[in-house]
Amino acid sequence: MKVLITGANGQLGRSLVELLTAMGIEVIPTGRDVMDITSWEQCREHFLQHRPDAVIHGAAYTAVDRAEAEPDEAYRVNAAGTRNVAAAAELVGAKCCVISTDYVFDGTASTPYREFDPPNPRTIYGRTKLAGEQLAASLSSRWFIVRTAWLYGPGGQNFVETMLKLAAEREHIDVVHDQLGCPTHTADLARFLAELIQTEHYGLYHAANAGSCSWYEFASAIMEETGLPAQIHPCTTAEFPRPAPRPGYSVLDAMAIRANGFAPLPPWRQGLKDYLAARRK
């Protein structure tokens, strides 16, 4: 099997390249310097040259706050870019796996979101990612859309690294306690994606580490697992206003994973332990 990965230099992309290569799968890693997803010509040429069996589309505009001031650029990458990747995949008969986000929901629920709950994004970022989902599903005949949340992994800036950095500088760290979600280790998500793309179980999936917590609880767990002395203090979202509103509740229910016979991702606390153990090595 030959798999093209967009966003190969990102945290999920790095985990995918490492895992798929170890599995003996031929990987075609692409970053912006190799294939600009906003260019149909470049996407078409790259797919025709390599003719992958599947693409995992992880490249995205992810600056949630900046997107509020740059909606055109966010749409160009997340909507038009996804359109180009999906159309190029269809051109060569490749499966198309698009990585999406919990931000397609408005965050007002009180029970975990299932795959077919109606999306209602409140941010430009969420709207552009939803537009990408819709374009991929309309242009590809062999599509997977995988929504995930609160990603952290090797080789990039993420919440875990931010907390570790702050813990080295401060005795007290304020972290919001009124946003609930699913912290997800990229290595665990990569294992699911590697299994998924080798099947014909097309459709929409929610894939995040099992369980849920607040950012405050996640930060507290990071301190507990590392033994760092910094004290984590709970605060409210209102105390840290941002240009783009954050979902108050974006816990994802992996109903499609269960229904299609896949193993659930490990609990979020185990994902954190595994990340920290790999980081120490």
- Please tell me the pTM assigned to this model: 0.97
**Measured between alpha carbons, how far is 246 from 259 in angstroms, rounded to an integer?**
29
Catalytic residue flag (residue 125): yes
Query: In this structure, are residues 12 and 186 in contact, taking their beta carbons and an 8 Å threshold?
Result: yes
As to burial, measured by CB atoms within 10 angstroms (0-12 exposed, 13-18 middle, 19+ buried), residue 143 is: buried
**Measured between alpha carbons, how far is 90 from 199 in angstroms, rounded to an integer?**
17
Domain boundary assignment for the chain: 2-152+184-210+252-266
For residue 180, what pLDDT is reported? 98
**Residue showing tokens 């970053």:** 31
For residue 156, what pLDDT is reported? 81
For residue 281, what pLDDT is reported? 86
For residue 250, what pLDDT is reported? 96
Cβ-based neighbours of 41, under 8 Å, separated by 6 or more? none
Alpha helices in the chain (DSSP H): 11-22, 40-50, 64-67, 71-75, 81-92, 124-139, 159-169, 186-196, 215-226, 255-259, 268-280
Shortest CA distance to 199 belongs to which of 105, 111, 262, 267? 262
Give the type of residue at 141: S
- pLDDT average per 10 residues of sequence, the chain (281 residues): 97 98 98 96 98 98 97 98 98 98 97 97 98 98 98 93 96 96 98 98 98 98 96 95 94 98 98 96 86
Query: In this structure, are residues 78 and 128 in contact, taking their beta carbons and an 8 Å threshold?
Result: yes
**Token pair in block for residue 27:** 């990987």
For residue 174, what pLDDT is reported? 96
Domain spanning 2-152+184-210+252-266: CATH 3.40.50.720: yes
Q: What is the DSSP string of 196-231?
A: HTTS---EEEE---BS-EEHHHHHHHHHHHHT--PE
- Active site residue: 113, 125, 216, 275, which one? 125
For residue 155, what pLDDT is reported? 85
